[in-house]
């Protein structure tokens, strides 16, 4: 297995040096760093954003022309030119803390970390235009997932469903209830959402990890699995299997047969690849995971770690896939 290191002055496959000048954004002036900001790592494009305001990237979303990075603790969205990686605009959100962001190509959707939470919908062609929807239950919003015209929100022990056309909440599912019986307890917190073949999957964690299976048609929990690890914060699904990524040192991945909802395998990452969170994506036959040290590649057919890159930065959440490339805000 090869290990590559990425930071100023070192390259993996290719390096594009971008020198940024001084920009004025939303009335605030900052000196953009004069250092390498973009690295091409095979199929991955790594964008360094954490140095803008010494902030933490919570999420990244990509459109045809732009990359959008959600940063905290002061909730802001940074708009970046996709080709040049120059920062075009920065907007402050009406939130104290934002948690996740997704796009459908027309709008950005942003979740708020508060009780009760709000979901912000921002027009991509006019970032100053937005609407706010407040969810009905008093629990923080975490992960967002778009499936067709519905936006699903992990909200504490609940999963909220929003019709993006009507822009109203059309469902709310309590993950404690499985076929009429309390199954997960009050403390399990929704951390990641994924969907495949008419089912929604939610990874819930507080101590022992849980994976919940929800039929999208009628929005009902049909099964739950209990992986043999704790703190399952990341989730990906592919070809009938779920991969629960657990925060540990080193990180662990539990493989779940989604048809039977049982654990079938487990992988422990190589030493020093620690504490992955919800930053997990699938590209081709590989799973890519953000750890404290950088990015790890796992071949899903062989179910083994096959590559890794040491990348500067701290975010283990700001990652997405678009048009065959991985975009990371660290």
pLDDT in tens, 36-92: 444 445 555 666 555 555 678 889 999 999 999 998 877 889 898 888 777 888 888
- Both tokens of residue 261? 């909802």
Q: How far is CA 38 from CA 34, 86, 97, 112, 261, in A?
A: 12, 10, 27, 29, 40
Using alpha carbons, select from 190, 154, 198, 199 the residue that is nearest to residue 172.
Answer: 154
Q: How far is CA 103 from CA 27, 208, 320, in A?
A: 26, 31, 11
- The lowest-confidence range among 76-85, 94-103, 140-149 is 76-85
pLDDT of residue 108: 97
User: 312 or 322, which is more confident?
Assistant: 322
Burial of 198 (0-12, 13-18, 19+ CB in 10 A): exposed
Using alpha carbons, select from 75, 101, 77, 97 the residue that is nearest to residue 88.
Answer: 77
Burial of 282 (0-12, 13-18, 19+ CB in 10 A): middle
Q: Confidence band (pLDDT; 50, 70, 90) for 286?
A: very high
pLDDT in tens, 179-225: 544 455 554 667 789 999 999 998 877 666 788 899 999 998 888 88
Using alpha carbons, select from 279, 252, 284, 290 the residue that is nearest to residue 268.
Answer: 252
- Both tokens of residue 244? 């629960």
pLDDT in tens, 101-110: 999 999 999 9
Q: What is the mean pLDDT of the chain?
A: 79
- Count of alpha carbons within 13 angstroms of residue 128, beta-carbon side: 1
Q: Confidence band (pLDDT; 50, 70, 90) for 169?
A: very high
What is the pLDDT averaged over residues 256-285?
93
**Residue 306 predicted with pLDDT over 50:** yes
- Both tokens of residue 125? 């062609």
CA separation for the pair 183, 16 (Å, rounded)? 51
SS3 89: strand
Q: Give the rounded percent of residues in the chain with a pLDDT score beyond 70.
A: 78
pLDDT of residue 17: 19
């Amino acid at each position: 297995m090869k290990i590559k290191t990425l930071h100023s002055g070192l390259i993996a496959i290719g390096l594009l040096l971008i020198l940024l000048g001084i920009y004025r954004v939303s009335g605030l002036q900052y000196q953009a760093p004069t250092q390498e900001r973009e690295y091409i790592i095979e199929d991955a494009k790594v964008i360094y954003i954490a140095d803008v305001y010494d902030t933490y990237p919570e999420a990244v979303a990509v459109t045809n022309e732009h990359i959008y990075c959600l940063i905290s603790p002061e909730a802001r969205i940074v708009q970046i030119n996709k080709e040049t990686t120059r920062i075009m605009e920065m907007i402050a959100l009406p939130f104290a803390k934002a948690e996740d962001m997704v796009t459908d190509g027309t709008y950005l959707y942003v979740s708020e970390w508060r009780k009760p939470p709000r979901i912000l919908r921002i027009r991509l062609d006019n970032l100053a235009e937005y609407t706010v929807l407040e969810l009905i239950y008093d629990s923080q919003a975490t992960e967002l997932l778009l499936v067709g015209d519905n936006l699903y929100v992990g909200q504490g022990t609940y999963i909220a469903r929003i019709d993006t056309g009507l822009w109203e909440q059309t469902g709310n599912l309590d993950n404690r209830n499985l076929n009429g019986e309390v199954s997960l307890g009050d403390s399990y917190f929704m951390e990641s959402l994924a969907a495949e073949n008419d089912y929604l999957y939610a990874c819930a964690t507080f101590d022992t990890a849980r994976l919940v299976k929800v039929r999208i048609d009628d929005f009902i929990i049909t099964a739950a699995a209990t992986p043999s690890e704790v703190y399952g914060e990341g989730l990906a699904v592919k070809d009938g299997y779920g991969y629960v990524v657990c925060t540990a040192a080193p990180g662990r991945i539990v493989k779940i047969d989604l048809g039977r909802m049982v654990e079938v395998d487990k992988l422990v990452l190589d030493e020093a690849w620690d504490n992955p969170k919800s930053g997990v994506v699938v590209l081709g036959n590989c799973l890519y995971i953000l750890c404290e040290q950088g990015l790890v590649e796992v071949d899903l057919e062989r179910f083994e770690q096959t590559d890794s890159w040491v990348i500067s930065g701290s975010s283990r959440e700001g990652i997405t896939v678009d048009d065959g490339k991985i975009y990371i805000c660290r």
